Chains A and B, each alone.
Chain A
């Protein structure tokens, strides 16, 4: 492209439109992050469902898989940032939303683990305990405090950053995934908690894994086109 060429008004407008199009088309998410989290959360949720349905335990808590996925995610983020030659306006917003999502998930898992223990402690200090009383005359049973149907809240939170990303990036697969997940959240309010795990597994697939496949295919197609 030469500097000196005299442009007509029509050519100027055409050039502006072309360059804006080129800039917009230059960025494609690699999809690896979406695939990673979609797979990890879906597997962990599905295994949790199987554990409850068939009453078995594993050597380690399957949810450690989710914590372990942070390591490759950090590596992927650093590598992608290094290769990025242009920064988009919406990037900071999307990154902030996912950071807040990560913090919220961690906070919720702390809530899930700490609240029952603390509640039991307070009950014991006050000198009472929670009991299950059967109407049919069977003997009462002690119940340990728990957070009922908490996985529904996780499902609700899965939808939030996915919907924001879908709206900001104008990426329909994520918007659709988030909408389906809101539906799963509503459904999970009426299901037993073990089925909530199954719904959570499906949520991770529609929110992240399937959009991840679409993003990955788009990215690979663009990479091939640039070679």
Chain B
């Protein structure tokens, strides 16, 4: 019996964001946008969904008088990501 893939992660942009954040300690919103080539609006929506699922932490602050949004994966996010990759490997028998 195959494990069902996490619907939060099984989406192109959200998976891309999680894959980026899993590789770094934390990243600015602009960094994620640059690496995913997503629009700011679309990315904001997906980041919010990941935040609501408890997979990432989002910190909004001001840096040199400019707003700065920093994202960081949570322990729940790491667990969900690991489970997702394991499920993928089971499907593909990797």
Contacts and interface: CB of A to CB of B under 8 A. Distances in A.
A19 interface: yes
A85 B5 CA distance: 31
Nearest to A3: B13
Q: How large is the interface on A (under 10, 10 to 19, 20 to 34, 35 or more residues)?
A: 20 to 34
A225 interface: no
B10 A12 contact: yes
Contact of A15 (B16, B30, B64): B16
Interface residues of B, number: 34
A26 B28 CA distance: 13
B94 interface: yes
Contacts of B15: 7, 12, 15-16, 19
Interface string A75-90: 0000000100111110
B23 A23 contact: yes
Contacts of B89: 13
A88 B26 CA distance: 7
Contacts of B36: 1, 19
Interface string A186-207: 0000000000000000000000
Interface string B71-94: 000000000000001001101101
A13 B89 CA distance: 8
Given A12-B10, A87-B24, A87-B25, A23 B88 contact: no
B24 A4 contact: no
A178 B74 CA distance: 36
A9 interface: yes
Contacts of B35: 19, 22-23, 26
A210 to B, nearest CB: 28
A29 interface: no
B37 interface: yes
Most buried by A among B26, B35, B64: B35
Contacts of A88: 24-25
A24 interface: yes
B22 interface: yes
Contacts of A1: 12-13, 16, 36-38
A90 to B, nearest CB: 9
A86 B24 contact: yes
Contacts of B46: 3
Interface of B: 5, 10-16, 19-20, 22-28, 30-31, 34-38, 42, 45-46, 64, 85, 88-89, 91-92, 94
10 contacts: A2-B13, A2-B42, A3-B14, A12-B15, A15-B15, A16-B19, A18-B19, A19-B15, A20-B23, A86-B27
Interface of A: 1-5, 7, 9-10, 12-13, 15-16, 18-20, 22-24, 26, 82, 85-89, 91-92
